[in-house]
Amino acid sequence: MNARTLSDLAAPLTALVAMDARFSHLPAPNVDLCPVYPDRLRLSLHDGLGAFEAWREALNIDPAAVVHRVQGGGGTRVLKVHGHFAGADIELVGFTPVPELEAAELGLGTVS
């Protein structure tokens, strides 16, 4: 297998430029490109699920396609969804603490 070149990542790079032009008002995500998946652009958000939802809506990704899970011993809620934008496969991921666990760690008791 030949090593990939930067030009092999043209689809996600083009999508990223298009996102900047169209969605510059949205919260800045972490951006990942990977030559193993050269057509994929991964956007991850760690500023609460509101930022995830803003991007999901902007990218017109079906909310029914979102997968929910927890990680970190149940302390982190994770939302993940795939979509397409400007010729790239988009993987959108949102992370947020589980409020009940975060409150317990801070000694605040149960959150209602």
pLDDT of residue 83: 98
pLDDT of residue 111: 43
pLDDT of residue 108: 44
Q: For 73-104, what is each residue's pLDDT tens digit?
A: 778 899 999 999 999 999 999 999 887 654 44
Cα–Cα dist 99/16, whole Å: 32
Domain boundaries, the chain: 31-105
State the average pLDDT over residues 12-32: 97
The DSSP secondary structure of 100-111, one letter per residue, reads: HHHHHHTT----
CA-based torsion, 6, 12, 17, 20: positive or negative: negative
Q: Which residue has the higher pLDDT, 103 or 42?
A: 42
Cα–Cα dist 93/80, whole Å: 4
